[in-house]
Amino acid sequence: MKNNPQIMVTGGLGINGIWVTRKLVEQGIRPVLFDVRDDFSLAGDWLRDKVDFVFGDVTSMDSLTEAIATYKPSCIIHMAAAISGFHQDLRKTFAVNAMGTVNLLEAAAQGGVKRVVFTSSRAAYGSITGPSAHPTYVPIREEHPAWPANAYDVGKLASEVMGNNYAADTDLEFVALRFAAIYGPGKLKTHGEFGILSKMVEKSLAGEEIDIPRGGEQQDDVIYVEDVAEAVVLAALHVKPSHTLYNISRNQGTTLHDFADAVRASIPEARITIGPGLDYLGVGSSYFGVMDNTRAREDLGFTPKYDLKAGVAAYISRLKETRP
């Protein structure tokens, strides 16, 4: 990427996107945000003057084509997604997360965009079986088979496959990042029960007791949202990534007990109880695992900066900053 690239971010005001947007601004870049809502509440209104904003929806080719023609981005970071539980609006999830990505890839390829960075998820692996599942948790490499089981999973996998095809057939570069379980401000509100880590932080901060009935033995790979944002910016600004797919993770198994200890390090009075067993999200224990991040370390120069304690501490200080 050239110096001072023009970067467009879809979903750049969302709970993950906002940290990417901030990081770009901190690096002196003025990103173009392409979003369905101009809700700056996750960052604060100070951010409005630091970015350009386009109302747009990835389900509309026209709005993508027009935004790309207007701002001529060299790179699009595509983070817009319908957040989906296991039993939500199936068609909407697919229309936004899969078809929306394909629309964006098509508009980008036609509009002369150099690179699309797609924020995928460990969900693309779907159900994890064999040695990478409980109790052995052998770190999952990018070559691991994918068993997408729900609309969210298959939307991520389909987006990746389509990105690879656009990269093969056009001049567009494509990089997909599969994130481990992300924790950070805002997730409790938007992700409901899937925001269980956020629940532990935010309810503890509010002085509330947390009782998680089951799942204390489940390990998962969890990562603080600012580490994720760092990886996204690295992928966007990298001269030329060697691969089209990277795990972005801490490469470590973490239990809810480990996370509760990190919360207690910041909030000693936290009252958290966790029951035994697996699958604290009620999604099937095969959806948890540890992701090998060797490729991202070696190729993108990615290093997670936040261990659990530092991540929770940063989370709390960000919360205080944005909730005056």
Is residue 113 a contact point for its own copies (CB under 8 A)? no
Least Å from the CB of residue 107 to its own copies: 9
Is residue 112 a contact point for its own copies (CB under 8 A)? no
Helix (H, G, I), strand (E, B) or coil at 246: strand
Least Å from the CB of residue 143 to its own copies: 10
Q: Which is nearer to its own copies, 99 or 188 (CB)?
A: 99
Among 43, 73, 108, 153, which residue interacts with its own copies (rule: CB under 8 A)? 153
Among 137, 166, 246, 315, which residue interacts with its own copies (rule: CB under 8 A)? 166
Query: How many residues of this chain interact with its own copies, rule: CB under 8 A?
Result: 30
Q: Are 190 and 83 in contact (CB under 8 A)?
A: yes
Q: Which is nearer to its own copies, 110 or 255 (CB)?
A: 110
How far apart CA 226 and CA 87 sit, in angstroms, is: 29
Least Å from the CB of residue 134 to its own copies: 20
The tokens describing 59, both together, are 């389900």
Please, what sign has the CA dihedral across residues 318, 255, 87, 150? positive
Q: What backbone torsions phi and psi does residue 136 show, to the nearest 5 degrees?
A: -90, -35
Among 151, 223, 262, 312, which residue interacts with its own copies (rule: CB under 8 A)? 151
Q: Are 182 and 16 in contact (CB under 8 A)?
A: yes
Is residue 83 a contact point for its own copies (CB under 8 A)? no
Q: Which is nearer to its own copies, 151 or 267 (CB)?
A: 151
Contact stretch for its own copies (CB under 8 A) within 15-23, 100-108, 281-289, 307-315: 100-108
Is residue 69 a contact point for its own copies (CB under 8 A)? no
- Number of Cβ within a 10 Å radius of residue 25: 17
- DSSP code per residue over 1-62: --SS--EEEETTTSTTHHHHHHHHHHTT--PEEEES----TTT-GGGGGGSEEEE--TT-HH
Cα dist. 35→11, 40, 113, 238, 277 in Å?
6, 11, 18, 24, 40
Among 154, 177, 229, 248, which residue interacts with its own copies (rule: CB under 8 A)? 154
Among 15, 76, 157, 233, which residue interacts with its own copies (rule: CB under 8 A)? 157
Interface contacts to its own copies, rule CB under 8 A:
87, 90-91, 94-95, 98-99, 102-103, 105-106, 145-151, 153-155, 157-158, 161-162, 164-166, 168-169
